[in-house]
Chains A and B, each alone.
Chain A
Amino acid sequence: MVQGEETADRITARGKSVRQYLLSHLREYGLLFALIAIMVFFQAVTDGTLLRAINITNLLLQNSYIVIMALGMLVVIVSGNIDLSVGSVMGFIGALAAVMIVNLEQPVFVTVPICLVAGALIGAAQGYWIAYWKIPSFIVTLAGMLVFRGLSLWLLEGQSVGPFPQSFQVIANGFVPDILPAGIGETLAGFIGVRRINVLALAVGIAAAGGLVWIGLRQRARNRAYGIVDEPRSFFIARNAIVAAAIIFITYKLSTFRGLPNVLLTMGVLAVIYAFLTSNTVIGRRIYALGGNQKAAKLSGIKTERLTFLAFVNMGLLAAAAGLVFAARLNTATPKAGFALELDVIAAVFIGGASMSGGVGTIVGAVVGAFLMGVLNNGMSIMGIGIDYQQMIKGLVLLAAVVFDVYNKQKQG
């Protein structure tokens, strides 16, 4: 064998693989790039308001319940279904919490578990018809959307109920206290020249960024060992650098305000759990198979009915969690809470690259999709763009994302 030839082959192979890699992962990079581009744009046109510490905190709080529900919706959509009832369910759970805490004076530690169980039961009730009676999820959850909207109204008797005690409000509006010695924060703040620094927040950010890079490196090393043609090194470095820098930057900003919001922690932990669940577990794999080809999945010994049922139970549970966060954030439960929110959640999942026909989509995509919509909302509000234009722009963004998907797929096929 001629040594030179082999090397030349490898180099052309690598050049080709860079292009192929970019082409086949255009969607993922495109999404990340779009998010960055939108942030840079709004940062510029709002004179830096977008990335102010207080606004970043707001952005996270405002979108937390969307992100939480998007995690469940991703699972539902990957399984080949849809859930139109999540907005109503979220509102209903908020109403339930308000009635229990404010009207019936139940303690928070009793109310929260009951609300979560109620959410799971609602999911089970809908999932039962979808999974075992094969009634299209669109119909069942459309019915659920009306039913739970009505139930919220009935429960609240058409009134807003609130306010909540402090112990409930912290779910959404609380911050993780800085448990590290105050001296470090003060020194650091003085050194950088800001008023204060929440060292814990910054430390968590650095740890998270470091963890992500570490996981990425380990994965890459393993793939290498198996000789898998993978992400070109330059892409790997650039992607990780951008993501790590973004995480550290955001936590730094947060640390100069009030620190880590409780909700960010909840959201982050949930996102990591669901990302792992969907990509690395047997049940996750089966959900993709179910959505990709239900008949083949069933004939491969997968209990497709039970899996569909569980996807909806899970969705109900997460909608309940989102309902608690939403009620706590508004500090009141209103009959209108969660109105049309299901559409934002579904849009986030599709912008994140999920396929209407099932079997395709990622948690990371859904989370980024949710934040992309969130930044759009937030940025346009700061600019003072009317709600009319906001709706139109969001609609066009959704359409563009899906058109991009379809175009991409056609080009590849």
Chain B
Amino acid sequence: MIAETGLLLLWLAAALAVLQALAGFAGLSRRGEYVAISPAARPLAVLQGLLCLAAFGCLIALFLRTDLSVLLVADNSHSAKPWLFKFAGAWGNHEGSMLLWLTILGLGSIGVALFERQLAPRIVSATLGAQAVLALGFYAFLLFASNPFARLSPAPPEGAGLNPLLQDPGLAFHPPTLYLGYVGLSVAFSFAVGAMLAGDANRAFARAMRPSVLIAWVFLTLGITAGSYWAYYELGWGGWWFWDPVENASLMPWLAATALLHSVSVTANRDGLRAWTIMLALVAFSMSMIGTFIVRSGLLTSVHSFAVDPTRGVFILVLLALYIGGALALFGARIGKVASGATFAPVSREGALVMNNLLLSVILAIVLIGTFYPIAAEALGYRLSVGPPYFNRAAGPIALGLVALLFVGPLLRWRRDRLARLPVIAWMMLAIAGVGAIALVVLVPRSAILPALGLALGGGLAIASLLPLTRRSLRRTPATTWAMVIAHFGVAVALIGMASNAAFTEERLIALRAGETTTVGPWQVELTAIDPVVGPNWTAIEGGLVARYDGGAPTTLHPQLRAFTTPPTETSEAALLTRWKGQLYAVLGQPTSEGRWQLRLWWKPFVTLIWLGGILIALGGALSLVARIGLLRRARHYVRQVMP
């Protein structure tokens, strides 16, 4: 019954989306009048979102009950799984994740319908119409090509289980976090489409778009940070970023959203860069859709994580072509109608933000080209791999240029400024960072250039990023300035972590017998025991390690080699020992012939700063969001005057 209810709810939601699209676009009638049906777009959007949410609730209920008469549950779940993984299993598969995507899209529509009261009604209803068209495509996809509620008859006695590597709290939160990011960008996309259809993009439009961009950006930042940490401890080789296509797929929307976040502030504050902001909003969501498609379709790597048959792949691709192509064609045809915004001098806050956007866009293009180049080459009969050496060399220097820009950019005034006016300390920090980098390369043996530059620039920026706070008393500093400073400080922290990890990591690969000791960096590590352990749905061999920092007090670590039964799989669970100076990372490998066990140990100084920085960046975004929503309320008066 639950499955049938879920399917019915989906059909109803899709029908409402049709009405929502009609109502939304009706507001754009040729006479430009606000047609009577248009106000219905808001309640329709709310109802559509709620129905979709309810359908998703049905799917979760099916997974929690392990209803094996439903094909999706039988294929992806198992009655012996812990409840959290049954719950998360609802979206740990193709159909479920598409429904989650739609649900969040629906929530985005609800947000616009309920909370956007400042923007011209024409733009709001066109936005809701665009949002409904987006949703409709995915409803069609779910209902016609991947019904999550399909029954299986007869029901099997037991489910096939969920991949053990995905049986991790990380799975429960990673995809929803990224989807919140992607879908937040869909709202920005719809706003951009709405503005182009209405032929109007001004400061009120940018202010209306900004909260959704901020929400998306905060969640993308958190999603990437968490995903990176997850890969770091789960894969067991100490790496935290691999420039893998799937990672790139999540990085590209983030880069576009970061650029958009900065350009939208120019439009919102100074009414400049209107067309560019619209362009970035289109690009950011296009990147989200392409990214999701890459992950879902197995287009870029060989093993399919969520088996997608070609029909489905073509279906999604046609949707992408319609949405992305349609929006960009609209841009080509209509952007001329959007009046040009305000102007500014090259040396100004706007100028610095243009520079920021230029560098971020180039990095985005590099990631995009590097990710797709092998496919293009293969189509021409040449097979190559593009990996870390390319991305680090091509994007690394530009990213460091962006960091250097951060020393002075936030200190510039809007509209027009002089570099000579900037505080000496900002230039000093930049000079010190440059000299420091050279010194590091020269003095530290075998040091690579990028990590040295990263350490120096990160250290300098940690101070320079605080300078915007010095311009007035701290209590009178606006919350948005605090938000910016926290986020930029987070960049410095993350950069120091990355550079330190790259420059100072110590590795020890060794086979030990119980009772033997080895060293890695400042640590002495003794293998004390090898014991079997039993978990809820796995068995494991567990190593007992006693680690001492520089002969100090002992701490124990327990890396495991786990064997799951459904499906039969072996994973290694790394053990991490976190100190403020860094992390000791231990992995238990296979036994060797002489009764020894392979151990992989790493000492990674300050590696945790990478993710701490990511969290700080997201925190800055969250603070900005809170402050903006407050500002919006205060700006209501002003906007009412502009838009009768």
Check if A and B associate: no
